[in-house]
Amino acid sequence: MQALQSHYWSIRDYLSPVLKESKFKESGCITPEEFVAAGDFLVYKFPVWSWQKGDASKIRDYLPQDKQYLVTRGVPCVRRAQSLAYTDADEDAERLLSFGETSVAGGGEEWVETHANRKPTFDSAANAGVIDEIPDLDAPHDVAARMGGLSLSGADDNTATPDLDDIPDMEEEDLEAGDEATAAPKKPAQQPEVQKTSNQATTITKDNLLQVRTYDVMITYDKYYQTPRVWLIGYDENRSPLTPSQIFEDVSADHANKTVTIESFIHSTTLQAASVHPCKHSSVMKKVIERMNNSVVAEQLAQRKAKEGKKKWLFGRKSGGTEKDKKGAQTEEEEVEGMRVDFYLVVFLKFIASIVPTIEVDSTASF
């Protein structure tokens, strides 16, 4: 059934026309040329991304041969998506905290502690476990007690003083012990403890290093939906490929086995990867771009008015002016560039980060 569905999708993609007109602000869709422009901007600003060719038999003729899809490798995934799930159960109850006696009378500050009864999880580096109790410095120590019992008078008869003749001479010692050629062979260094879990053959080294999963993330262009499409290939701590069930552990419960499925990678003949289905990408991107475009337009208009104010202050205000000039100024003020299509993939990755919240796919967080 999966093979039949993949074959149907490939035929549908082949018969779909290529988008020629730019509609990314109106519908959230982009053309192949705009996909390449947005990919070039992403690679330029964030070098962790790079263009790839793919298999020669899977090349899309509407894209450049050396820019078939984008890829970034070794993306960390520290936690599972289930650890981020919040519920309204009793364990997530809220508690009102009061500081000081004045808060009871209404004169102080009160705080609300959320998830008061929630049990801590130990699946991240933030939860290091229970710390052993530190001994008190003021308490008497065994060493001090033993030192107090020593005597310099030699009254202890049980301790026999060795005879000077029994002390060996330094010349009789093996002076060649320091020579590496004649020295005794050293014991091999103790190897770190290795533990294998019962459900899978996963090697875990106890060397205080955080063992995390990693993912290879690819972005392709979907000609049918006219939007980018994300593919995920996961690896465990030993760089062994993850099973589909393990990959779904890193996907939010609302999308696992629904919008995220395991399919054949479109630029490879043998590779299988988890894919985020792009059926809703255009509608979501349209809403996000509308909000961002409004803020960008307002900022650009404010910058233009500031520049015009400086020019009027430097050269003086012009007297009069025809009605045609006034209309031209209004249209020029209304026609601003707004959000450029170069930023499309930057916004797109922030949207994908909500589907896979524990996989750090958004490398543009500081942008």
- Residues assigned a catalytic role: 279
Would you list the DSSP string of 192-203? PPEEE-SSS--E
Residue with tokens 């040329």: 33
The whole-angstrom separation of Cα 105 and Cα 300 is 51
- Whether the CB-CB separation of 336 and 297 falls below 8 Å is answered with yes
The whole-angstrom separation of Cα 284 and Cα 338 is 19
Backbone angles phi, psi at 52, to 5 degrees: -135, 155
Name residues whose C-beta falls within 8 Å of residue 169's C-beta, 6 or more positions apart in sequence.
none
Name residues whose C-beta falls within 8 Å of residue 313's C-beta, 6 or more positions apart in sequence.
none
Q: What token pair was written down for 41?
A: 């901007």
Residue 147's alpha-carbon distances to 138, 140, 151, in angstroms, are 17, 12, 9
Neighbouring CB atoms inside 10 A of 82's CB total: 13
The whole-angstrom separation of Cα 233 and Cα 270 is 13
Q: What token pair was written down for 9?
A: 């999708």
Our CA angle for 89, 94, 98, nearest 5°, is 165
The whole-angstrom separation of Cα 340 and Cα 296 is 10
